[in-house]
């Protein structure tokens, strides 16, 4: 079976990434692979994000995660959207 095109175009991108180190490993390898072409790489890896599903599965989700996050609160989808829009516009 032939590898997907992305593997052919960027052969170093996926070959040595430690699966326990994603997404940081993939982002780091992307920087090496794409930097020489002037392509910037950003990585957004949010922690605890409060969404409808997490509220249903764990009613105390916000309290639990707020206690262990630097901001002292859970994240919201809007937080992630704002970060991605900022990075895309940079």
Q: Which residues contact 42 (CB under 8 A, 6 or more apart)?
A: 27, 87, 90
User: Mind listing the pLDDT tens digit for each residue in 23-81?
Assistant: 556 777 788 888 888 988 888 878 788 999 888 988 898 998 888 888 899 999 999 99
7 versus 86: the higher-pLDDT residue is: 86
Q: Which residue(s) pair with 75 in the sheet?
A: 49
With b meaning 16 or more CB within 10 Å and e meaning fewer, what string describes 11-45?
Answer: eebbeebeeeeeeebbbebbeebeeeeeeeeeeee
Sorting pLDDT into bands at 50, 70 and 90, what band is 12? low
């Amino acid at each position: 079976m032939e590898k997907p095109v992305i593997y052919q175009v960027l052969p170093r991108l996926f070959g040595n990434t430690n699966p326990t180190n994603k997404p940081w490993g993939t982002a780091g390898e992307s920087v090496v692979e794409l930097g020489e072409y002037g392509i910037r790489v950003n990585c957004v890896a949010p922690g605890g994000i409060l969404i409808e599903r997490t509220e249903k599965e764990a009613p105390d989700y916000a309290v639990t995660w707020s206690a262990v996050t630097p901001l002292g609160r859970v994240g919201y989808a809007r937080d992630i959207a704002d970060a991605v829009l900022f990075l895309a516009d940079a």
